[in-house]
Structure 1
Amino acid sequence: MSSRSRLDYANPAAGARYDCIVLDHQALTGPREQVIEFCTHAAPIILVSSTPIEWLSGIVHDLVEKPVMGGAIANSVRRILAGEGRMRTK
């Protein structure tokens, strides 16, 4: 496990070396196209946000809503590592 305050847009493939990524919505800085490029090539992403981000709904694998309660993030990581599907989209 490692922690970063920002995404490495210069090297989007770097995100693929993890089993999954927990991404707080506040780390989504920069142009939308760069965020999409990173998320598309990265490992499965769990987005932590108070609301879904529509333009990422088909890209991230799960959404954990803020405020985070109990083991929500750990449960999401377990589901992803077990191979369960992508986030439900509207």
Structure 2
Amino acid sequence: MNSLTNIAASGLRLQQQALQVTAGNVARGADAQTRQRLESASVPGSGVIASGVTEQPADLAADAVDGLQARAGFQANVRVLERGHDALGSLLDVLA
């Protein structure tokens, strides 16, 4: 269960970082020439990490999509943690 928790928690951290990068892009607005995008890498058995930030041409529509993806990824990782908690609770009920 610890591995599940670590992997989901790493996903939460990554999505939080991605949303911060996207928010910065939106705050700079339409006048910005470039936008930043968070890149990620998987770490076997540990989840994911931010592997760097790339510069790309400014695109507010892409920032909106990135923000939605970060939100969906965050929600998915929260659900993983909830299901893991539920499974552990069920196991403890069986063992009691």
Taking structure 1 as the reference length, the TM-score comes to 0.26
Larger Cα-atom Rg: 2
Taking structure 2 as the reference length, the TM-score comes to 0.25
Q: Which has the higher strand share?
A: 2
Q: Which has the higher helix share?
A: 2
